Structure 1
Amino acid sequence: MTDDDKPPIGVLDTLRATPTTVRYLLGGVLVNQLGAFVQTFLVLYLTHRGMSGGTAGLALAAYSLGTVFGTVLGGEITHRLGARTTIVAAMAGSAPLVAVLPLLARPGRVPVLLAAIALAGLFAQAYRPAASVLLSDLMPERYQVMAFSMMRIALNTGAALAPLIAAGVILLDWDLLFWLDGATTLVYALLAHRLLPRHAAPEQAPEQASEPAAAPRTRAERRSGGRAAYGRMLRDRAYLAYLAAVVLGTVAYVQSSISLPLEIVHDGYPTWLYSAVLTASSLVLITCELKITAYITRIPTHLAVGVGHLVNSVGLAAYGLAVHSGAFVLFGAVLAVSGLMIAGPSMFAHPATFPAGSKARYLATMQAAAGLASAVGPLFGVWAWTHLHAGFWVLMALVNGLAGVLALLGTKHRADRADRADTARPDTAPEPVGETA
C-alpha cells in the first residue's frame, strides 16, 4: 500500500505512532524551553545590574551571533558524532555558562561577560540540529511533518510559559533566573544521556554507501568532505531559494514582537492590547497547530507553504489598519498565526527530507539562517517602522509574500525531482532524493 492509498493522518494516529524515545525527546525540549530566559531577559537584567543600554544591546548581539555559529557547529558535530552525543555535550556546556552570568555581570568584567554570553548562545543552540535529526530518524516517515509540528508545539508552549515563570522568579531574585535556566539545561542533558538512544553518526548518502568500504578517513579528508558537502548545497538552487524564504519569512515574523508593540503605542492603545495579542496567538498556536497539520499533510508541501505565507501576509497587512481600530490588531494576529500553522510544519520539516548523510547539515543551515534573520530582523524592523509607520506593514506583507513564492518554488522543485527519480527507478524501493552532501 502506498502513502496515497493509506487513510489520512490524524492527531490520535500520530500520537499512537510516536515512539517512546520521541516523547522523551520532546519532553526534554519542553523542559529546556521552559527555563530559556537568557535571550528574553538579558537586556533587562544587565540594565538592572547598572550596565548601560549600549552594553546590554552588545551582549544581546553577542548571544545572537553565538546562536548562529552554534547551529552550524551543532549540525557538523551531529554529522560526525551522532545526535545524542551532540545534545548532551551542548546542554552540559551551556548550563555552567548560563549559571555563571550573574557573577560576571559587573561593569569591570564586560569583555569576559560578552565572551561567556557568546559561548552560552553557541552551546544553547548547538542542540537544535541534533534534536531535529533524531526526531526525523525515530519518527516513521509518514508522520514526519506531524512530528516537526509537535516539536514546534513543545517549543512554543515553553516560550509561552517561560515569561510567566520568570515573572514570579524575578520577584524573588533576578540572579535566580539564570541559575534556574542553567538547572533546566542540565536536567535536559541528564535526560538526554539517560533516555535517548545511542545513535551513531548518520549513514553515508546512498551513492556513498554503494562504494566499497575504505579505510577511515584522515582529519584533512573529513574537512575536505565537509567543504564539498557545503559546496553542493550552495549549488542546489532550490534549497537556496528555500533558505532565502526562511530568512525573509523570519524577518517578517519577528516584527510581531518588535514593531507591533511600537505600532500599538503609537496608535494610542493600552499596553494590555499587546498582552492580549500574545495570549491569543499562543493559545491558538498551541491548541490548533497539530490539528491543522493533520489537514495540510493531505495536500502537496509546496501548496501548504504557499497558502500559509499568503494568509500570514494578509495578517501582517492588517496591522497597518490598526490606526482605525484595535480589532485589526487581533484580527491580524489570528491570521498571522494561522499562516504560521499552515506553512510552519512543512517548512520546518523540509531539510529532514534530505538523505541521512547530509540532513544534519541541511537542518543546521536552515536554523542558522533563521537565527541570523532573528538577529537582524529587529534592527531592520525598528529602522523601517520609524520611517514608514503604517506603510511598514505593507512592506512586511510583500516581504513575506516573496518568501512564500521562494518557499513554494524550492519545495516544489525538490518534490518534482523526487518524482522523476522514483519514476526512473521502478524496481527499487523509494529513497530520499536530493542534492547530496
Structure 2
Amino acid sequence: MRFRPLAKARSSAGATFGGLPSGFWWLWAAQLINRVCGFVMPLLAFYVTDELHYNAAFAGAVVAAIGIGSLVAGPFGGILADWLGHRPTLVGAQAATAVAMVLLAYARSPWTLLVGAFVVGVVNNATRPAHNALIAEVVPSKDQARAYSLNFWAINLGYSVAMLSVGLVVFTGYTALFWLNGATMLISALLVALRVPGRGRTPAPADADGNSGGGFGAVLRDRAFVAFVIAEFLVLTILYQSESGLPIAMGRDGFSPSTFGQVAALNGIVIAVAQLPLTRLYKRFPESRVLAGSSALIGLGYSVLLLGHSPWIYGASIVVWTLGEIGNTPTSFAIVARISPEHLRGRYQGLFQVAWTGSLVVAPLVGGAVINAWGAAPLWIGCLVVGAVAAAAQFRIGTRLSRRAEPAAAAEPAASAGPAAPAEPTRELTPP
C-alpha cells in the first residue's frame, strides 16, 4: 500500500515521457536551449531605448519590423521546408538566425536596425514550420499530440528561465546577450544536424495525368484547413490580449509594471505545473471537443476581468485562460501535422503559423483601440463572444479534420511493417 503512490507516479511519468523516439528528445532539447537563452526578442525595445537612446516610437517600429518578418516567414519557411527537407531547413534557418542576431547587436543607424530586425524576424520564424513538421516526421501519429504538448512545455519552461535571467544585462551588457542568444541558436542547429534523423525532401505524388500535387495553391484549396486557420486566428487574437489589452488595462487601474510582471508570471507557472497532467486528461476526449472547450475557456478567462480590478481578479483570469491555452496549442499543432500530406507538411505548418504571427500584429491594434475608445469592459465582452464563436467553429471543423486524420493513424503501423510499405502512400491524405 505504501508504495502505491510511487507506482502511480512512475506509471504517469511513463505515460507522459515514455515511448517517444530519441530524435524527438534531441529536438526537445534544442528547443529548450533556444528558449532558455532567448533574451533578444523580449528585451529588444529596452535595448533600442536604453542602450541606443532612440525614442519609444522608433523602438515600436523596430519590434514591428520583426513582426512583419514573422508574417513573411510562415509561408517562406514552409515552402523551403518542403523543398529542401525539414531538417536542412531547420538547421539552416537556426544558423542564419545566429548570424543575424550577432549582426543586429552592431546595428546603429535607423535603417540598419529596421532591416536587421526584419531579417531576424524572417530567419528566426522560418525555423518554426520546419521544426513542427520535423516533429511529425520523427514521431508516430499516435504520439504526436503528446509530443507537441511536451514541445509546448519546453517553450514555456525555457521562456520562464529566460525572463528570470534578464537581470544578467546589468552585469554583461546587451551585446553579450545577443552573442549568447546567437550561440545557443548555433548549438541547437548542431544538435539537430548531428542527432535528429531526417528523410530529406518528400517528392509530390503525381496524379493520373502526371501532374504533381504540390505548391501553396494545394494548401489554400483545402477549405476545411483554411477555415481552421481562420478560427485559430480568432482564438489567438483573444489569447494575445495578454501582451496588449491586459497590461494596458492594469496600467489604467494603477498597477505598476512590476505588479503586472508578477501576475503575468502565473501563465508560465500554471503551464509548468498543469501542462503534463492536463495533457493526459485531454487525451480522453475527441480533439474537436478539446479545441472547442479550450477556445471557450480562453474567452471566458478574459471575461473574468468584468468582475473587478484587483490583482486577485487579474490572477484568476490568467489561470482560467492559461488552462484553455494548454488545451488549444498542442492539440491544434497535432491536428495540422496529421492532416497534412508528407510533401506539403512544411507549407501546412507555414500557413498555420500565419494565424500566430497575424494575431500578434492584430491583437495589440484591437486591444489598444477598443480600450482607448470605450474602456476595457467592451474588450473583455468581445473576447467572450469571439471565444464562443470560435469554439463553435472549431468543434465543427475539428471534427471534420479529425476524421481525415484517422485513416493516416490507422495506416501508419502498416507502413512500417514490411519492406513493401514505403511504396504505399498511406499518409497522403486527400482533402475532402
TM-score tier, shorter chain, comes to 0.7 to 0.9
Structure 1 residues 161-180: aligned runs within 5 Å: 161-180=161-180
1:401 aligns with 388
- Structure 2: which 5+ residue stretches go unaligned? 1-10, 416-423
Bigger mean CA deviation after superposition, 166-175 or 23-32: 166-175
1:279 aligns with 265
Cα pair 2:342 2:428 within 8 Å, conserved: no
Q: 1:374 aligns with which of 328, 340, 360?
A: 360
Tell me, in whole angstroms, the C-alpha distance in 2 between the residues paired with 1:192 and 1:413: 34
Tell me, in whole angstroms, the C-alpha distance in 1 between the residues paired with 2:239 and 2:82: 30
Q: How far has the Cα of 1:421 moved from its partner? A: 10
Q: How far has the Cα of 1:11 moved from its partner? A: 4.8
Aligned residue identity for 2:390: A
Give SS of 1:100's match: helix
Aligned: 1:335 with 2:320: yes
Cα pair 1:90 1:123 within 8 Å, conserved: yes
Tell me, in whole angstroms, the C-alpha distance in 2 between the residues paired with 1:170 and 1:322: 37
Cα pair 2:229 2:355 within 8 Å, conserved: yes
Aligned: 1:64 with 2:51: no
Cα pair 1:170 1:176 within 8 Å, conserved: no
Aligned residue identity for 1:125: N
Aligned residue identity for 1:298: R
Residues 404, 430 of structure 1: alpha-carbon distance in 2 compared, 3 angstrom cutoff: farther
Tell me, in whole angstroms, the C-alpha distance in 2 between the residues paired with 1:399 and 1:186: 40
Tell me, in whole angstroms, the C-alpha distance in 2 between the residues paired with 1:34 and 1:211: 50
Tell me, in whole angstroms, the C-alpha distance in 1 between the residues paired with 2:217 and 2:425: 26
Aligned: 1:84 with 2:87: yes
Residues 276, 342 of structure 1: alpha-carbon distance in 2 compared, 3 angstrom cutoff: same
**Cα distance per residue 1:318-343 (max 9 Å; x no partner):** 123233x3322111111110111122
Residues 332, 81 of structure 1: alpha-carbon distance in 2 compared, 3 angstrom cutoff: same
Aligned residue identity for 2:132: S
Structure 1 residues 4-403: aligned runs within 5 Å: 11-48=13-50, 49-104=52-107, 106=108, 109-202=109-202, 204=204, 208=206, 226=214, 229-323=215-309, 325-353=310-338, 354-388=340-374, 389-403=376-390
Q: How far has the Cα of 1:170 moved from its partner? A: 3.8
Aligned residue identity for 2:307: L
Residues 269, 322 of structure 1: alpha-carbon distance in 2 compared, 3 angstrom cutoff: farther
Residues 141, 398 of structure 1: alpha-carbon distance in 2 compared, 3 angstrom cutoff: same
Cα pair 1:153 1:285 within 8 Å, conserved: yes
Residues 403, 330 of structure 1: alpha-carbon distance in 2 compared, 3 angstrom cutoff: same
Tell me, in whole angstroms, the C-alpha distance in 1 between the residues paired with 2:409 and 2:40: 47
User: TM-score, normalised to structure 1's length?
Assistant: 0.86
Give SS of 2:72's match: helix
Tell me, in whole angstroms, the C-alpha distance in 1 between the residues paired with 2:382 and 2:290: 23
Residues 37, 431 of structure 1: alpha-carbon distance in 2 compared, 3 angstrom cutoff: same
Tell me, in whole angstroms, the C-alpha distance in 1 between the residues paired with 2:100 and 2:58: 19
Cα pair 1:417 1:433 within 8 Å, conserved: no
Cα pair 1:14 1:143 within 8 Å, conserved: no
Cα pair 1:63 1:121 within 8 Å, conserved: yes
Tell me, in whole angstroms, the C-alpha distance in 1 between the residues paired with 2:106 and 2:407: 59
Tell me, in whole angstroms, the C-alpha distance in 1 between the residues paired with 2:226 and 2:250: 35
Give SS of 2:133's match: helix
Cα pair 1:87 1:130 within 8 Å, conserved: yes
Residues 77, 321 of structure 1: alpha-carbon distance in 2 compared, 3 angstrom cutoff: same
2:397 aligns with 410
Aligned residue identity for 1:232: A
Cα pair 1:414 1:434 within 8 Å, conserved: no
Cα pair 1:319 1:328 within 8 Å, conserved: yes
**Cα distance per residue 1:160-181 (max 9 Å; x no partner):** 1112222223443122221211
Cα pair 2:49 2:55 within 8 Å, conserved: yes
Residues 421, 113 of structure 1: alpha-carbon distance in 2 compared, 3 angstrom cutoff: closer
Tell me, in whole angstroms, the C-alpha distance in 2 between the residues paired with 1:138 and 1:422: 14
Cα pair 2:279 2:327 within 8 Å, conserved: yes
Tell me, in whole angstroms, the C-alpha distance in 1 between the residues paired with 2:41 and 2:189: 20
Cα pair 1:83 1:131 within 8 Å, conserved: yes
Cα pair 1:91 1:123 within 8 Å, conserved: yes
Tell me, in whole angstroms, the C-alpha distance in 2 between the residues paired with 1:244 and 1:277: 30
Aligned residue identity for 1:39: M
Tell me, in whole angstroms, the C-alpha distance in 1 between the residues paired with 2:406 and 2:106: 57
Residues 231, 254 of structure 1: alpha-carbon distance in 2 compared, 3 angstrom cutoff: same
Residues 136, 156 of structure 1: alpha-carbon distance in 2 compared, 3 angstrom cutoff: same
Identity of aligned residues (%): 26
1:3 aligns with none
Residues 435, 244 of structure 1: alpha-carbon distance in 2 compared, 3 angstrom cutoff: farther
Give SS of 2:307's match: coil
